[in-house]
Amino acid sequence: MIVVMEERAAEELVQRVIDRLMEDRFDVHRSTGVLHTVLGGVGGPDTFDTAVVQMMEGVKEVHRVISPYKLASRAFRPEGTIVKAGKVEIGGNKVVVMAGPCSVENKDQIERSADIVADGGAQLIRGGAFKPRSSPYSFQGLGEAGLQMMREAADRRGLGVISEVMEISQIPLLSAYSDILQIGARNMQNFNLLRELGKIRKPVLLKRGPAATIEELLLSAEYILSGGNYDVILCERGIRTYETYTRNTFDVSAIPAVKKLSHLPMVGDPSHGTGRRDMVPAMARAAVAAGADALLMEVHHDPEHALSDGAQSLNPVQYMDLMKQLRALAPVLGRTL
């Protein structure tokens, strides 16, 4: 149930509604907008009569939420959410770029990467230190040493850091080094991991699973939100279809769909979305045109020798060229970059 309070309703009235909902065992989540306070009541009895709350002083509207996700739904925060990751804001007018290698490979590589992505105008550097590889014989990442190298390189260039957390035990480490914790596509429905991420107070970027529906993505976000961590960012990274030309099928339409259904920022990852660096620029432009709040892209100083995902990593020239195009495109869409 969503309760929208009157404009600038007094705190005492808001508290009375919260108390009344809690009396019926609702878990109450609060969103304080510029004008309206919105309360999200989760759980509670199905038989609860919304008129009880509707009639309370200071209440403007009450809606029963029929979608299975409540806190992720647009109704909870109609104006949208801006997630702050360090100095970077995701979900506002500015299109944020998060770029870097698939994996942190060594000090030289990540230092060069920081220079390339910062020179091109990205605000965050990406790079996996714990890698979910399809084969156990492939490079698995450098672990903490990799995170340390990436943090140093990022700080030198004033960049934020985003890196993947694969399991619960890695959360403290990732929280220490990274500004955003990435949940990989393969872990989108690792519900125990999602619950733990609901307890921390760091932004989480949740990738859509390769076989997940948009509703399942939003339900996974709900696991994190219901734990009290409201800094969730969603990401389309391609889904598995019968097409084999591309690594995945980049579902551009998921971007406007999520923006309509949810208040959470939505990111496009055209690198995993296509698996081919020759197609990344076109899909990056498409994602921005479709309303993406940010792009997550793989860039490598020497893609032919990358230890993972070289085929989909932009080389520095391609990356610089794309950033130039995006800077021209954003204003046409009423955005900045």
Residues found near ligand PEP in the complex (CB under 6 A): 102, 128, 132, 184-186, 207, 237, 272
Q: With CB cut-offs between 5 and 8 Å by kind, which of Mn ion, ligand PEP, none does residue 132 bind?
A: ligand PEP
Q: Based on CB atoms, which residue is closest to Mn ion, 254 or 296?
A: 296
CB of 279 to ligand PEP, least distance (A): 16
Please name the helix (run of DSSP H) or strand (run of DSSP E) that holds residue 166, with its range, or none. none
Q: Based on CB atoms, which residue is closest to ligand PEP, 46 or 304?
A: 304
Q: With CB cut-offs between 5 and 8 Å by kind, which of ligand PEP, Mn ion, none does residue 207 bind?
A: ligand PEP
Tokens of 22: 């809690």
The residue at minimum Cβ distance from ligand PEP is: 184
Residues near Mn ion (CB under 5 A) are: 102, 309
Strands 83-85 and 88-90: antiparallel
Q: Based on CB atoms, which residue is closest to ligand PEP, 132 or 158?
A: 132
CB 188 within 8 A of CB 236: no
| Spatial distance between the Cα atoms of 292 and 276, rounded to a whole number of angstroms | 20
Q: Based on CB atoms, which residue is closest to ligand PEP, 184 or 268?
A: 184
Q: Based on CB atoms, which residue is closest to ligand PEP, 73 or 248?
A: 248
Torsion over CA of 194, 73, 287 and 328, rounded to 10 degrees?
Answer: -120
CB of 132 to Mn ion, least distance (A): 9
CB of 94 to ligand PEP, least distance (A): 22
Closest to 286 measured CA to CA, from 251, 258, 310, 257 = 251
The 10 Å CB-count burial string (b at 16+, else e) for 274-304 is bbebebbbebbbbbbebbbbbbbbbbbbebe
CB 53 within 8 A of CB 17: yes
CB of 217 to ligand PEP, least distance (A): 12
CB of 132 to ligand PEP, least distance (A): 5
